[in-house]
Structure 1
Amino acid sequence: MKTLVCTTPGQFEYQEGDSPVATKNHSILKIKRIGICGTDLHAFEGTQPFFEYPRILGHELAAEFVEGDNAEGFSKGEAVTFIPYFNCGECIACRSGKENCCTSIKVCGVHVNGGMAEYLSVPSYSLIHGEGLSFDELALVEPLAIGAHGVRRADVKPDEFVLVIGAGPIGLGIMEFARIAGGKVIAMDINDQRLSFCSDKLGVAHTINAMNDDVIERLKEITGGDFPTVVIDATGSLRAINNGFQYMAHGARYVLVGLQKGELNFSHPEFHKREGTLMSSRNATRADFEHVIASMKKGMVNPATYITHRVTFEQVKDDFKGWLDPANGVIKAMVELND
């Protein structure tokens, strides 16, 4: 079996190894699509928290079910995806129905080897039926579920202004599900190409370039002086996260989806007088995955919109570094294999 291993920051190596075999409560998947996400890019850069090398990356996956133990209802050759956050089932988070932030969570492609391989073994409890979706669509369920979970954490209400900071793939998913929840989305980024994508492809009415625009004045103009009642960061940039506090309306909720290694720094009096709510949003739950799949099937989200680059598995090593360059206009790179 061929795998692609990130041996050290900035280095990939194709390796040959044994294919996984079925074990108790696990299933074998034949990988068909791999979506490249920010976590993969950060791992390659050497900036991903909670990460060790060498590691096989990849957790945005679509596959064919091969065989499995305790996988009732799944049939050989069926198109599937899975929830790539492997939880213990016993800790306080798991007992509270928050398996997405299990105290000993193992994220596929981060804490354990992921799907940049021809075959992968996953816990059978993590499997999700394809529901007739294509492999491309199924590979995009997980990143969209991250956005759906952030919106659910924010408890977005109809007609309230939602400022989404960061127009990368996760930010775009947040915008989609904030719209589905009835929110009035404001997209903010420093890349005009991505902001144009928000307007042209997602129908976002309001965009702000944080480098070129007077952000405070633009937010006043858009919201009638009220400021957004929901602010969601999807950048993972410490500067952007710290700046986000000043964009909150009084009584607003601020949700951090993006992750970085540093410490937050904000004015306590300014945050306090707003009676603001600050929360993090980690991974996603099965309910979020199901919401995404249902939204896709209803035509409320068009996953094909996101795929800007497409390569074979054999091309990943040579092409990967270029996806870090914003000038290349990558929204979502999709890897095809086993076709």
Structure 2
Amino acid sequence: MKALRCDEPGKLSIIQQDIPKVGPGEILVRIRRVGICGTDYHIFHGNQPYLEYPRVIGHELAGEVAEAPAGSSLKIGQIVCIEPYLYCGTCRACRLGKTNCCQNLQVLGVHRDGGACEYIAVPERNVVPATGLGLDEAAMVEFLAIGAHGVQRSGMGPASRVAVVGAGPIGIAAAIFAKTRGAEVSVLDMNTRRLAFCQDEIGVDHAFEVSPDIDDRLKAATEGDFFDVVLDATGSPKAMMKGFSYVGHGGTYVLLSIVRADITFSDPEFHKRETSLLGSRNATRHDFETVLDAMRNGRVPVAGLASHRGGFDEAPGLVPQWSTSEAGVIKALVEL
């Protein structure tokens, strides 16, 4: 079978591999869509933590069940998405239901070879039926679930004033699920096209283009109170540190981004606000189901999100193009 591998930073190739053999309790999935995300671009550019080369990329996966064990609830040909976080199920985090931050976590396409290939075998518990949805929708569940998880972590509600900093796919996902909770949502970014998308497709309440006077503009817009919840999805250490100043008194700061850097903040300001600081890693099965339900109820602008697509054989040339800001990508899908 074919697989898309990042051999080293800056080099992608199509390679040939054997179709994997299915082990006990595993499902063989024929991959039909692969979403390309920030992690894949970081792998291509050589700045992704926790990774060794070469690596078959791909963790936003949709496909059809090709082989299932006797007694499985999954049926041959059924459209599914894959929860790409292979957790041990026995560590303390897993026993507490926090499988997204398992102490022994292996993420497809990062810690081990991913799903940008024709077939993949994964534990049945990581295969999620996408009942009533198509392949495009199923391929976008994972990145949307990351945003949904951060929103759930924040504890926001209908009365919350929320700022999402960074309008890439994860920030967009956070904005979508903040809106489903009825929050007043502002999005901050330097990319005016993405801000327009958030207004037109998601219906966010406010969009702020980041500029040198952004602090004054946010202060004026919120009558000096700033925000109850701030979610950072920038992937920028400088922006992540700056985001502390956007959190209002008694507010919560959620870091969706992960970077190779130390993040520092002013302790007096942190304590003055009694800020709650939360990390948000990956997503859980509950978050996947939250996204699937929102899709079925028409609360996710799927058609608008899928801005770019291409065939598998063209992917080594397309991924570098899609990784540039000039490409205007919201979400790119590779079709098999």
Could you say what the CA RMSD is over the residues aligned between the two structures, in angstroms? 1.1
After the TM superposition, which segments of 4 or more aligned residues of structure 1 sit over 4 Å from their partners?
none
**What is the CA deviation profile of residues 254-278 of structure 1, one whole-angstrom value per residue up to 9, with x for unaligned ones?**
0000110100121110111100010
Q: How does 1:28-107 map to 2 (within 5 A)?
A: 28-69=28-69, 72-107=72-107
Q: Which residue number corresponds to residue 305 of structure 1?
A: 304
Deviation for aligned residue 1:213: 5.3
Unaligned runs of 5+ in 1: none
Output one character per residue of 1:103-160: Cα deviation in whole Å (capped at 9) or x when no partner.
Answer: 0100011111111101111111111111110000000111100000000000111121
> Secondary structure at the residue paired with 2:290?
helix
Encode CA deviations 1:61-90: one digit per residue, 9 max, x unaligned.
110001123771111111111211000011
Please name the residue that 2:252 is paired with. Answer: 253
Alignment length (residue pairs): 336
Separation (CA, whole Å) in 1 of partners of 2:16 and 2:50: 26
1:239 aligns with 2:238: yes
Q: Do the aligned residues in 1 keep the contact of 2:167 with 2:233 (CA within 8 Å)?
A: yes
Distance 1:83 1:155 in 2: 23
CA contact (8 A) 1:161 1:228 kept: yes
Q: 2:28·2:65 contact (CA, 8 Å) conserved in 1?
A: yes
In structure 2, relative to structure 1, the CA distance for the partners of 1:17 and 1:152 (3 Å cut) is: same
SS, match of residue 75 in structure 1: coil
Letter in 2 for 1:226: D
TM-score (norm 2): 0.98
Query: For 1:246 and 1:230, how far apart are their aligned partners in 2?
Result: 12
- Rounded Cα–Cα distance in structure 1 between residues aligned with 2:164 and 2:254: 10
When structure 1 is superposed on structure 2, of 298-307 and 328-337 the one drifting more is 298-307
Indicate yes or no: 2:271 matched with 1:272.
yes
AA partner of residue 270 (structure 1): E
- Aligned ranges 1:146-295 → 2 under 5 Å: 146-210=146-210, 212=211, 214-295=213-294
Give the letter aligned to residue 43 of structure 2. A
Classify the secondary structure of the residue corresponding to 2:248: coil
| Aligned-partner Cα distance in 2 for 1:71–1:197 | 45
Give the distance between the partners of 2:20 and 2:130, measured in 1 at CA: 22
> For residues 120 and 332 of structure 2, what CA distance do their matches in structure 1 show?
20
CA distance in 2 between partners of 1:156 and 1:323 (Å) = 33
| Structure 2 equivalent of residue 140 of structure 1 | 140
The alpha-carbon distance between structure 1 residues 192 and 71, as it changes in their structure 2 partners (threshold 3 A), is: farther
**Cα 1:70–1:220 shift into 2, 3 Å:** farther
Contact 1:206 1:222 in 2 (8 A): no
List gaps (5 residues or longer) in structure 2: none
Indicate the SS of the match to 1:296: helix
Aligned residue for 2:332, secondary structure, equals strand
Q: Is the 8 A contact 2:164 2:174 kept in 1?
A: yes
Contact 1:156 1:182 in 2 (8 A): no
Counterpart contact for 2:68–2:76, Cα < 8 Å: no
Tell me, yes or no, if structure 1 residue 327 matches structure 2 residue 326. yes
Change (3 A) 1:7 1:39: same
Percent identity between matched residues is: 46
SS at match of 2:149: helix
Residue matched to 1:125 = 125
Between 1:68-77 and 1:246-255, the stretch displaced more is 68-77
Q: Match of 1:56, as an amino acid?
A: V
- Residue 223 of structure 1 deviates from its aligned partner by 1.8
- Counterpart of 2:163 in 1: which secondary structure? strand
Mapped partners of 1:227, 1:89: distance in 2:
40
Cα distance in 1 for partners of 2:287, 2:265 equals: 31
